[in-house]
Amino acid sequence: MDFQLTDEQQMIRQAARDFAQTELLSGVIARDESQSFPPELIQKMGNLGFLGMMVDPKYGGSGLDTLSYVLTMEELSKIDASASVIVSVNNSLVCWGLEAFGSEAQKEKYLSRLSTGDSLGAFCLSEPEAGSDATSQKTTAIEKGDHYILNGTKNWITNGNSADTYLVIAQTHPEKGHHGINVFIVEKGMEGFKIGPKENKLGIRGSDTHSLLFNDVKVPGENRIGEDGSGFRFAMKTLAGGRIGIAAQALGIAAGAYELAKKYAKERKSFGTEICNHQAIAFKLADMHTQIEAARYLVYKAAWDKDQGKNYDLSGAMAKLYASQVAMDTTVEAVQIHGGNGFVKDYHVERMMRDAKITQIYEGTNQIQRVVIGRKLLK
Ligand code: CAA
């Protein structure tokens, strides 16, 4: 076993760390409050290659491995989980899905813009009545010669308004169940495509989440990705990789909150000494650090599986399940260690606690991760 990162991986981690410190930290509280994320900041992440990290350089990507992507996600998430979810959705769900399943023409037209930040992507699977039960899609795309007519509603879509390229999953043959599902590239501005109001969220408030409404949207046949009926497999395989990205986000939130709590515990005094000298606090830090290290190895192992061409459905689900629990537990403890200051926005940890919660919900709730893990183990 080799626990050493390569020079290149260390360099990428440092670049992400520097970017988070210099570009993300100063405005993170304001973005959380105003529920906004400046497009220029997204473009800067694109310029640094953070938006198409694993994409082949011939399509404008950085051509890096999954571990480098995970390290980047971890560093960005230590400071701003809203920035990292933008990165995660664009990399894991949109770019990866297009590169793995798209045609050459689709890659040339869309991927090179998506991987550089000239364009931003959204992944549209969830519906008002199809969240965990993802096969129950009600959105339809009915074939009419050389195009499809798309009708339906998608919910809780990350990058809902800031995106301009949407991968929309829809039923083309409802009678065939999940074998009658396809995925389409839909562009912002297509007639009949409307973006609903922005959701007012508990956490990751900088990233925009919207419902999307499709009313007789005419989508060219050439915008269907992959073979007819392959949309559900596309969604499942893409989400399996996406879960590694969200696991890395959870790891980063946990690690960021732990670092702040440790620093605070070494500065804040009570009963005549720094509070880290009280076992009540030192034991919390010991547990937090141990759990974060355990989460880190699950996340890196899932990334390694993917890079080795091994199946990562199980390791990705385990990484997300565990890391998101660690993110929740660690951020709650970080608030506790900060005491009254933990409840105040300036100290960051209350935001991190709010941000952590979504990692247990999106890209498959923790209950769904247990379904995936259980089925893999028992099959
Ligand atoms: N890779 C490839 N194919 C897969 C797969 C995988 N990892 N997992 C399942 N499939 C295939 C199966 O082989 C099966 O195909 P066949 O019938 O041809 O064999 C098909 O998919 C259906 O599989 P299941 O019978 O297991 O389906 P199910 O109805 O029991 O559901 C589930 C399985 C795991 C619960 C799935 O519905 C699921 O993952 N639900 C959660 C959905 C989810 O993660 N949503 C997140 C929304 S996106 C988001 O949050 C993004 C964001 O904005 C941040």
Distance CA(156)–CA(275), nearest Å, equals 41
Identify the burial level of 26 via C-beta atoms within 10 angstroms of its C-beta, where 0-12 means exposed, 13-18 middle and 19 or more buried.
exposed
Active site annotation includes 127: no
Question: pLDDT tens, 147-179?
Answer: 999 999 999 999 999 999 999 999 999 999 999
CA 300 to chain centre: 16
Record the tokens describing residue 92, joined without a space. 């894991």
3-state secondary structure of 4: coil
Distance 134 CA to ligand 1 centre (A): 7
pLDDT computed for residue 2 by the predictor: 87
pTM: 0.98
**Which ligand 1 atom sits nearest the alpha carbon of residue 93?**
51
Average pLDDT by stretches of 10, the chain with 379 residues: 94 98 98 98 97 97 98 98 98 98 97 96 95 92 97 98 98 94 98 97 98 98 97 97 98 99 98 98 98 98 98 98 98 98 98 98 98 97
pLDDT computed for residue 1 by the predictor: 85
How far apart, in Å, do the first and last CA atoms of the chain sit?
28
**Which ligand 1 atom sits nearest the alpha carbon of residue 134?**
37
Query: Contact, 251 vs 77, CB < 8 A?
Result: yes
Which residues, judged by CB distance below 6 Å to any ligand atom, belong to the binding site of ligand 1?
89, 123, 125-126, 132, 134-135, 158, 178, 232-233, 236-237, 239-240, 313, 362-364, 368, 371-372
Record the tokens describing residue 3, joined without a space. 């626990």
**Which ligand 1 atom sits nearest the alpha carbon of residue 361?**
50
